[in-house]
Amino acid sequence: MTDIHGAVRRFLLSLGEVLTAGATTHADAVAVDEFARLASVLRTGSSQAEAAMPGILPVCRFWDEALDRAADGPAVLAGHLRALGPSLRWTQNPNYRHRPPDPAFLENYGYAVIAGPAGDDKPEAARPLVAADALAVGVLLLGPGTYYPAHHHPASEIYCIVSGDAEWRRGDTPWRRQPPGAVVHHAPNLSHATRARAEPLLAVYLWRGDLATCATLLEKDLEEN
């Protein structure tokens, strides 16, 4: 039987190192420090791993390829994710399921929560592997060429890119390519968008603050696409 809590702890230790190395601005470094403080509490806490009931989505067809491509980036982090892979419960934002931004989006998008609020009110698929109150950590997977339109949420967010040379945009600023290992910080309620290029995009996300409110797609971006 997989020691999920141990596997999550090893993943978080590795994530902390990759985040510290990837923070390039003072604001990013401050955000990384805050997330690291919350994650260290989780690593030493007594939260119990729940029995895993894994679930998959169509986008999971890109999981192995995304992990394999991480050889050029944070390969150690990908190794910990590979160990967690069979236990992950893939899910989708209910706002997007209700109104997909394009017909193919739900075939090419999904996320899995590794640590976060237990939330008995949540659907089974959206529950974390390990309970945490002040922080949510998980993985986002996008298929090649997928456009994830501008969206926003009240939580403060950091993405750590594991593999995939995608383009990222904050507000109305120009698109920027972010390589594996890069850290992307989104302040609360800042709209942001992502588009995967020829490869799948695999990124770890961290949320703090309002963990209960799902992201909402920007109406303007929906109308333009």
**Closer residue to Fe ion in complex, CB, 9/153:** 153
Distance CA 34, CA 14 (A): 16
- What is the rounded end-to-end Cα distance, in angstroms, of the chain? 45
**Residue 30: in which H helix or E strand, if any?**
helix 26-44
Write down the least CB distance from residue 185 to Fe ion, Å: 10
Task: Give the span between the Cα atoms of 218 and 123, in whole angstroms.
Answer: 25
As measured in angstroms, the least distance from the Cβ of 190 to Fe ion is 9
Q: How far is the CB of 157 from Fe ion (least distance, A)?
A: 5
Instruction: Answer for the pair 40, 172: CB distance below 8 angstroms, yes or no.
Output: no
Least separation in angstroms between CB 79 and Fe ion: 25
Residues in the chain, total: 225
The number of C-alpha atoms within 13 Å of 83 and in the hemisphere containing its C-beta is 17
Which residue, 157 or 165, is less far from Fe ion as judged by CB? 157
In the complex with Fe ion, which residue's Cβ is closer, 125 or 136?
Answer: 136
What are phi and psi for residue 151, nearest 5 degrees? Answer: -150, 170
Nearer to Fe ion, 157 or 199 (CB): 157
Residue nearest to Fe ion (CB): 157
Residue closer to Fe ion by CB (options 62, 148) is 148
Helices 4-22 + 75-84 axis angle, to 10: 160
Give the count of beta carbons closer than 10 Å to the beta carbon of residue 133.
Answer: 14
Which residue, chain included where needed, has tokens 């945490």? 132
Nearest approach, Cβ of residue 209 and Fe ion (Å): 12
Interface residue list for Fe ion (CB under 5 A):
157
Q: Which is nearer to Fe ion, 47 or 216 (CB)?
A: 216
Residue 170 beta carbon to Fe ion: minimum distance, rounded to whole angstroms: 10
